[in-house]
Amino acid sequence: MAGIASREHLNICLLSYRSNPHSGGQGVYLKNLSRALKDQGHRVTVVCGPPDADVDPDINLVRLPSLDLYDPADPFRMPTLKELSHPINLIEWVGVSTMGFPEPFTFGLRAWLYLKKCIGHFDIVHDNQSLSYGINVIANRIPTIATIHHPITVDRRIAIRSEQKTWRKLKQWRWFSFIGMQRRVARSLSGFITVSKAARRDISGDFAIKKNRFHIVPNGIDTGRFHPVPDIDREPGRLIVTNSADIPLKGLQYLLEAIARIKKRHGVRLTVIGAPKKNSPIPLLIRELGIGDLVTFTGRIGHEEFVRQYARAAIAVVPSVYEGFGLPAGEAMACAVPVISTSGGALPEVVGDAGLLIPPASADALTGAILQLLENPDRARRLGDAGYRRVMNEFTWSRAAHKTIKAYRKVIRGYR
C-alpha cells in the first residue's frame, strides 16, 4: 500500500449515516471536510443515508435509501409490506418499533452492499461515526479510518442520569443499545480521527482503545459563512445560545435558571436558535421560572439570518455539560461575539483564553460570568476580538483537511 499512500491525490469515500447539517455536527463536518479535501485536489465521494448530505454540487454524492423513520414530515410511519420484504428494512423497522436506534447498524449494512461493488476504486474509506458491523467488513477489504467526534457513552450517562423514572431510564438504555456494537467495531479498526485531546482521552477510556491509534484533527470553522457583520449593532443584554434545546448534555436548563436570576439585576433577553421538540421539558421549565417574556426560540432559520442573530448578540453562551469539540463556540468566535463557555470536554481547547470558561452544570457559574460581561462591555469587546483572531489562526477547514490526509496516508501505509 506504500505506493497508494504516496499518491499526490487520493480517491476518498466518506461515509455518513445521518448527514444533513441540520441534523447536527456530523453533517457540518461532512459538508466542510468534503469541500476542503476536494479543494486540495483529492477525489471525494460522499455515501450517505437520509436526511441527504448538504454537500456542494461538484462533490459526488451517493444516496443509500432507507425507511427514514425519523423523517419529521412523516415520523414513525408504517412501512409497506413491499418495503418490509427487504431484510435490512425489516431490521430497521423492528429496531425503531422497540425504541432502539438502528440507523448506524443498518446504514453499515447498506454501505457494505454498495462498497463491495467498488473494491479497488477507493484508496481509503472514512466512516463518520457509524461504527457499524458493516464498517468492520469494509475494513477487511479497503483501508478504513473512522472519525469519532466524542464518546457517545457520555451522552448515555447524562441522559440516564437526567431521567427520574425507572422506565424512562430503561428507555434511554434501549435507545443507546447501539453503543455495544460501536465499541466492538472500534476496537477492530486500525486508526481513528478525533477532534480534541479531551475526546481522545474519554473515547480511549470508554472504548478501551490505545491513545496511539488516534489522530487529533480539530474541526475547522467555516469562516466564509460565519463572520462579523459590522453594519449590525450588538444589542445590550441580548444573549444567544445555539445548543440543542432538548438534550440534557447541552445544559440549556442551567442557562435558563441563570436568566431567571439575572433578570432581577439586569435587563437581559435570550435567543435560542431552534425550537423545543414535542414533549420537551424546556417550555415547562421556562414557565416555572417566569421568564417566558425573556426567551425567544427562532425555529429553523436560514444561514444569513443565523449570522445576523450572532451580529445582534452581546454574548454567546455555550452551557454544554460536555462537548467533544464545540462548534457553537467556534462559530460564535468567528462572528466576533464574546463567548462564555463551560469547561466541559474539549471546550477549553476551542475557547482557550479568548472567552470566559466556567464549570459545567452550574447555574451559579453562568450567572456570575454573564453579569461580568454585561457590566463590563469593554472586556466583552476584547474577548470578541480575541475569539475572532483565535479562529482565524487555529481552526480552518484547510488545515483540518491537511491533517486528515496525513492520517489517511498512515492508515494506507499500514494496511495489510
DSSP state of 31: H
Residue 231 lies in a domain: no
Residue 383 lies in a domain: yes
**Claim to verify: residue 16 and residue 140 sit in the same structural domain:** yes
Residue 226 lies in a domain: no
Residue 248 lies in a domain: yes
Looking up residue 17, the CATH number of its domain turns out to be: 3.40.50.2000
**Claim to verify: residue 256 and residue 283 sit in the same structural domain:** yes
**Claim to verify: residue 249 and residue 196 sit in the same structural domain:** no
**Claim to verify: residue 261 and residue 147 sit in the same structural domain:** no
Residue 233 lies in a domain: no
**Claim to verify: residue 78 and residue 191 sit in the same structural domain:** yes
The terminus-to-terminus CA distance of the chain in angstroms comes to 8
**Claim to verify: residue 45 and residue 193 sit in the same structural domain:** yes
Q: pLDDT value at position 63?
A: 93
**Claim to verify: residue 188 and residue 314 sit in the same structural domain:** no
Using DSSP's 3-state secondary structure scheme, residue 47 falls into strand
Q: Give the predicted TM-score (pTM) of the model.
A: 0.86
Domain span at residue 98 reads 2-220+396-413
Q: pLDDT value at position 278?
A: 77
Where is 340: in which H helix or E strand? strand 339-342
8 Å CB contact between 186 and 207 = yes
Residue 289 lies in a domain: yes
**Claim to verify: residue 386 and residue 400 sit in the same structural domain:** no
**Buried/exposed code over 289-308 (b: 16+ C-beta within 10 A; e: otherwise):** bebeebbeeeeeeeeeebbe
Q: pLDDT value at position 2?
A: 61
**Claim to verify: residue 148 and residue 249 sit in the same structural domain:** no
Residue 263 lies in a domain: yes
3-state secondary structure labels for all residues of 282-332 = HHHHHHHHCCCCCEEECECCCHHHHHHHHHHCCEEEECCCCCCCCHHHHHH
> pLDDT (tens digit, 0 to 9) for every residue of the chain, 416 residues total?
666 767 789 999 999 987 766 556 788 899 999 999 999 999 999 999 888 788 999 999 999 999 999 887 888 999 999 999 999 999 999 999 999 999 999 999 999 999 999 888 999 999 999 999 999 999 999 999 999 998 888 889 888 988 888 998 999 999 999 999 999 999 989 899 999 999 999 999 999 999 999 999 999 999 999 999 999 999 999 999 986 556 788 999 999 999 999 998 889 999 999 888 877 889 999 999 999 999 999 988 888 999 999 999 999 999 999 998 989 999 999 999 999 999 999 999 999 999 999 999 999 999 999 999 999 999 999 999 999 999 999 999 999 999 999 999 999 998 86
Q: pLDDT value at position 367?
A: 97
**Claim to verify: residue 102 and residue 186 sit in the same structural domain:** yes
**Claim to verify: residue 283 and residue 324 sit in the same structural domain:** yes
Domain count, the chain: 2
Residue 373 lies in a domain: yes
**Claim to verify: residue 184 and residue 250 sit in the same structural domain:** no
